[in-house]
A and B are shown apart, each in its own frame.
Chain A
């Protein structure tokens, strides 16, 4: 039964966007504004010996480390990235200084005349090199039960290794940011996911009191994690420049610069050692996850945590030994990207189970289903799966609608079908939600209600969905529910727009507050209500040993991909994608399908055509001509469906959705390709060159 809340409504921001009237930061104009351009390292690892600057025309400025009033570091989970390079550079593209002035042509001309003398040093670039010689940013380990004993008594031990490459976000709107002082208050405006992260970074860099900094989000043209931590860096850049020049400063990256210096999905290697009992059941896993973090740690340790807590996916494995390492390399820092470490390990374990099943001659889906988690089972970190697990219903639905078994049986060589099963832990990992302690405000003036949150609309539909939650609860037309301007001076910190937490956590707070408002509703009386997040008491988490409930609840799903491979060119065609998801209750079905289809296609891109490699620290695919993302010609028909499974703490029963959409399609495609060639696929992206080689292997 479809719920009333799921009925789709018109997206509140879509008409303006169609007409080209939405104002992204590159469309903003300021009086007396100056442009900024970043001079970046051309060396992967070097000492800076000298910087020679030509004579600068009047009205132009050089901004560097000496101009930072506070600390020259970008504040994030690990604050190790210098805002401007000091004595050395650690990756190609690292910011050294800004040139700021009224005419872009003059700025370019100044840049071309600046001479930097470097003393180059040997760099580290691959995980292989890094494992031998590099600095280890993070080394995590957790255990469940007694893996050593399980491996001793194992009937059979299997080892397998999987690896994945970079992924660039390619939000259509490149990074853009601006800063100005009004009286003595600093305003930073821009394309971003997390206004309060930017504010936190500015507090340290600018050495200003809290009430003298305001961060305002502009219409944001896609983000996918790429505008999670990065705007804390360019935000500080323009703030330092505005402080020195006493002018508004705008800095819009062109695409090549954006690709060169912005964060990407971590390249990974995942090694599994598997202990099977005499019934071929997996009784223990030894999992070793390596991520290439790039030159600075930043968010990598928390990305690694989610990778590790997703490493057993939807399976109940009795004994576990899980290790995870983040390595420093002389590459652009890796960072947040939809899925946040989970896509790497979920791809790996899905292919692991597939490979084992094929080796044992068991139907892969049946083999996976033998190991499925059930309600009340322990999670990999010894927490508990508290929600009802509807994987059987999901699988039944998708197998039927895709005609999976008939296709599996009747496919010819070079035709394949694959199925992935997956979950996503909703909201922040571990104590994250408690640490952030998100707050929201609902303000009623006569019959207009304004919701004040720091969750941003970045394309995913947050504005529509959050307004809808409040409007439906108060039984008001959506036009009477206003989204307060995302300005840190006017809104509380309800946390960043990340981790698929917006609908479930922030929407949940809004729903509870709106229910209270409804009780106290009095037409003439104005009312302001606020609420802070409270972590359910029954959840516990030990952050030191990684024990307990890493997530309050999970969303679940299955994807099926049908593929065809050209036997001559090895070109891969995705013929059809199917997805069935349990996200609790869809808040708006069309908005949700938009998330699901978009995420699945992004996943297909990562798994197939999105090739990004490096050579001596230099990106070989550094623009959109060389780095290809799917076009309308590459996408198949997509079939999307949901099973209802209301979550008691989610608004109208909703759980998380945004990242769940991404994790399933890469392993589904890889399995379909493995099925088509009858060969294992252990690496992404799956290029025609790789397929040709794999097919010709004995």
Chain B
């Protein structure tokens, strides 16, 4: 089926099976490697992308459901000021270890701050609860988000 949607701010048309996982379409057909597969069942958040500005697990989305929507991955998000603030926070706090979960955490952070620019610690934890990290024990990621909010004041 032909699917038209906005990918990283550009309109595109692709011909894929409607039931194909958005994750596979992004990685295999469109070569967007920042989107990672960690579990394939919507538990780990490594494949999170922004769909109409909200973080969604791309492994759980049939490609047919994104018709007409806007999908943003790290490939374009990394050029934004918001990204730069989040990156600065993550680097300073030591939020990154093995890195496989990191793009997903950053996309989830953007989604959280987009909806709630001044989250409490509990709200940060809840906002990141769909992303698994096995390396850090999370506190250094939560601290990274706190620092991003501070350094990116006014961006959200």
Contacts and interface: CB of A to CB of B under 8 A. Distances in A.
Contacts of B40: 254-256
Contacts of A220: 98
Contacts of A17: 96, 98-99, 102
Interface in B119-156: 124-126, 128-129, 131-142
Contacts of A625: 41, 43
A14 to B, nearest CB: 4
Given A26-B37, A27-B33, A221 B98 contact: yes
Contact of B90 (A18, A256, A638): A18
Nearest to B86: A18
B101 to A, nearest CB: 5
Given A172-B44, A255-B38, A623-B39, A20 B74 contact: yes
A231 to B, nearest CB: 15
Nearest to B96: A14
A602 B128 CA distance: 18
A20 B131 CA distance: 15
A597 B101 contact: no
A20 B139 contact: no
A253 to B, nearest CB: 10
Nearest to A588: B94
Contacts of B102: 17-18, 20
A632 B135 contact: no
**Chain A contact residues, majority secondary structure:** loop
B115 interface: no
Given A26-B37, A221-B100, A632-B125, A20 B137 contact: no
A23 interface: yes
**Chain B contact residues, majority secondary structure:** loop
B82 interface: no
A220 B134 CA distance: 13
Contact of B99 (A459, A591, A633): A459
Interface in A13-46: 13-24, 26-27
Interface residues of B, number: 47
Contact of A635 (B74, B87, B94, B137): B137
Taking each of B43, B97, B99, B136, which has the highest tally of chain A beta carbons within 10 Å of its own beta carbon?
A: B99
Given A255-B40, A597-B139, A632-B141, A602 B134 contact: yes
Interface string A448-481: 0000000000111100000000000000000000
B91 interface: yes
A632 B142 contact: yes
B80 to A, nearest CB: 12
Contacts of B129: 631-633
B110 to A, nearest CB: 12
Contacts of B39: 255, 623-624
B113 interface: no
A47 interface: no
Contact of B137 (A255, A598, A623): A598
Contacts of B36: 20, 24, 26, 172-173, 221
Contact of A20 (B86, B103, B138, B141): B103
A11 interface: yes
Given A18-B103, A173-B38, A633-B126, A11 B96 contact: yes
A171 B98 contact: yes
B28 to A, nearest CB: 9
A601 B97 CA distance: 15
Interface string B16-43: 0000000000000000011111111101
A10 B91 contact: yes
Contacts of A26: 36-37
A13 B38 contact: no
Given A14-B99, A18-B103, A633-B129, A174 B38 contact: yes
Contacts of B98: 17, 171-173, 220-223, 458-459
Interface in A222-266: 222-224, 254-256
A597 B109 CA distance: 21
A459 B39 CA distance: 19
A600 B139 CA distance: 12
Nearest to A226: B134
A492 interface: no
Given A20-B33, A458-B98, A594-B97, A601 B138 contact: yes
A11 B91 contact: yes
Taking each of B38, B41, B74, B87, which has the highest tally of chain A beta carbons within 10 Å of its own beta carbon?
A: B38
A174 B102 CA distance: 15
A219 interface: yes
A20 to B, nearest CB: 2
26 contacts: A8-B94, A11-B91, A15-B91, A16-B99, A17-B96, A19-B103, A20-B74, A169-B134, A170-B134, A172-B36, A172-B101, A219-B99, A220-B98, A223-B98, A255-B39, A460-B135, A594-B136, A594-B140, A597-B136, A597-B140, A601-B136, A601-B137, A602-B137, A624-B39, A624-B41, A630-B137
Given A17-B98, A19-B87, A633-B129, 5 more contacts: A14-B91, A20-B34, A27-B33, A219-B99, A631-B129
